[in-house]
Structure 1
Amino acid sequence: MSTLPAEPSIESVQFDELECWRIRHGNAELLVARQGAQILSYQVDGQEPLIWLNDEAVFKQGKPVRAGMPICWPWFGNLERNPDSVQAMRQSSEPAKAHGEVRALNWELLGVGEDGDALLVELVLPQAEGQLPGWPHNVALKLSIRMDQALNVSLVSYNGGSETVTLSQALHTYFAVSDVRQISIEGLNGLRYIETLENWEEREQAGDLTFGGETDRIYLDTPNLLSIVDPQWQRRIQVHTSGSNSAILWNPWIEKTRKFTDMAADGWQRMVCVETANVLDDVVTLAPDEMHVMAVSIWAEALPE
């Protein structure tokens, strides 16, 4: 006898200082923090998590959470490493925060509703419309989450001002894996990448990417499908993107993790970041009244026996 899927539900939960929402739809559960509109975890019943919720994450107001899917916007990483057109948008002599201004601000829950068999969740950040510190541009910013057979996340930027705006951005996704030393990333073969750990040299990927040490690479002209192959968990995580032509692959490994106060010493083994991004030459330029959507869909498939 089959059972009907449970009705969608949303409940407010508190993680230390952060207000969050636990959202259930069908057999999937999503955890989202109001701060940063940050997805903290995503898991389908009976399966290992897809999005990694760091056991040692710190949930404090004003402090980005090292877990889930942080939003980097309107620049990625160190502002000084961004193209001049992105740097020129900032108008402040104060040091620029890493990964932009929006991941430590409280967003507003615009709505939750059903669309056929899917559940839609939308969050907006009113401060992006001219009130970000040192970034006085009127760009409406919305995060749309659609839960169906996959987790579909879209970051929508709309230039409501009178001047052209240039930005870089990323959905800095931490994926849960059995052991990063045993996985591989498919879809990168032959791509150019920037090896940030070796003087930002440009190199070319040969074969699938495997991990044997700290990794911090920016891949260029990426295809719209990358796959995380995890033999121990017998699954392939599919990462399908649109509105993005670059990706960052990151794992801190042993030494860097030791410097983190918000990750267990062996936390690096259980995660890999595959970040959907618009960075370097792949920045977004929006004329007045123009919109850009950067999106990623994530789901797991069983590996063949």
Structure 2
Amino acid sequence: MSTPKVESEKHGELNCWRITSDSAELLIAQQGAQVLSYQRVGEPPLLWLSDQALFKQGKSVRAGVPVCWPWFGNLARNPQSVQAMYQASEAPAHGLARGRDWQLLGIDNSSTELRIDFTLPEALGNLPGWPHSVALNLSIVMGEQLSLTLSSENLGSDPITISQALHSYFAVSDVRQVRVEGVAGLNYIETLANWEQRNQQGDLGFAGETDRIYLQAPEQLSIVDPAWNRRILLRSSGSRSAVIWNPWTDRAAELIDMANDGWQRMLCIETANVWDDLVQLAPGARHTLSLSIGSEPL
């Protein structure tokens, strides 16, 4: 096994790094410390990058793994304790971290595993409307699997409450033919039907727009993709909730950075701390949210 190769690239307005090893290729943007794509040699991509993705400053790329922090989704849909942390009028969807440039702390490719570390300096009290001091770091490791670890340490003197997610876009052959294992028996919030709580019967298949918050999610979920003869394995820690999303036809047509049929080739399973699975940090406390992505043949 040779040492992974690191190259700097520019995609549109964004600074990026392409990392290539004997077994996989990874593309990361400095903005949002966002993984844009990940593909193992000889296999279809594991993470999906939209054909019509926009690489613009201040706008999250529709691809890979955006980091949603210090809130997830629409702030007004978050619990009051999360809303109370923010003191400005307009709240961007999915928080403040994904549209900002993170600082690269280092790339270690001295072994067959590559590690890349980022921090968001503005989180130390300089995020607009969010006057709290948090050491926010993301570590990405590419080895036999791809692993992401997001850590938040409260450096202030008051407790804080956040919601967050690693908003992963997975590549699939055809979302209508895949299923998600690991959700059977779980309660979930059906956001498309007045946020009702329901119970999942069996594996989850897809026949229309899907936007659900699964509660008490297990540490492992899987995407079974018969056409590509593979199972994508998601292992998480520090999370008890998962958001599963696909926009389907009408919603995809409204998205300028997704082809009208792009919904067929992607599925979001977001490793999260949302709903009643919030992160409450006392002064000096630290929380770590982790996800590892691998695959195996069926």
Name which of 6, 27, 35 aligns with 2:2: 6
Does 2:28 align with 1:32? yes
Q: TM-score normalized by structure 1? A: 0.96
Q: Report the residue type matching 2:136 in the other structure.
A: L
SS in 2 for 1:64: coil
SS in 1 for 2:46: coil
Q: Report the residue type matching 1:255 in the other structure.
A: D
- 2 CA distance for matches of 1:282 and 1:26? 38
Q: Report the residue type matching 1:24 in the other structure.
A: T
SS in 2 for 1:144: strand
Deviation at 1:82, TM superposition (A): 0.5
Does 2:153 align with 1:153? no
Name which of 270, 277, 282 aligns with 2:277: 282
Q: Report the residue type matching 2:56 in the other structure.
A: K
Name which of 8, 13, 18 aligns with 1:22: 18
- 1 CA distance for matches of 2:112 and 2:55? 32
Name which of 172, 187, 195 aligns with 1:192: 187
In structure 2, list runs of 5 or more residues that go unmatched. Answer: none
Does 2:234 align with 1:239? yes
Does 2:95 align with 1:100? yes
- Give per-residue Cα distances to partners, 1:55-86, cap 9 Å, x unaligned: 10000111111111111000000001111110
SS in 1 for 2:227: coil
SS in 1 for 2:47: coil
Name which of 242, 248, 255 aligns with 1:253: 248
SS in 2 for 1:294: strand
Q: Report the residue type matching 1:182 in the other structure.
A: Q
Deviation at 1:116, TM superposition (A): 5.0
- 1 CA distance for matches of 2:172 and 2:2? 28
Does 2:52 align with 1:41? no
Report sequence identity in percent.
59
- 1 CA distance for matches of 2:254 and 2:109? 43
Task: Say what the alpha-carbon RMSD is for the aligned residues.
Answer: 0.9
SS in 2 for 1:172: strand
Q: Report the residue type matching 1:120 in the other structure.
A: R
Cα gap change, 1:191 to 1:103, in 2 (>3 Å): same
Deviation at 1:291, TM superposition (A): 0.6
Aligned residues, how many?
298
Does 2:193 align with 1:203? no
- 1 CA distance for matches of 2:285 and 2:111? 29
Does 2:42 align with 1:51? no
- Give per-residue Cα distances to partners, 1:62-121, cap 9 Å, x unaligned: 1111111111000000001111110110112x2111000010000111101147542111
SS in 2 for 1:197: coil
Q: Report the residue type matching 2:199 in the other structure.
A: E
In structure 1, list runs of 5 or more residues that go unmatched. Answer: none
Alignment of 1:152-191 (within 5 A): 152-191=147-186
Q: Report the residue type matching 1:47 in the other structure.
A: E
Q: TM-score normalized by structure 2? A: 0.98
- 2 CA distance for matches of 1:53 and 1:257? 14
Deviation at 1:203, TM superposition (A): 0.1
- 2 CA distance for matches of 1:112 and 1:58? 26
Name which of 128, 132, 135 aligns with 2:127: 132
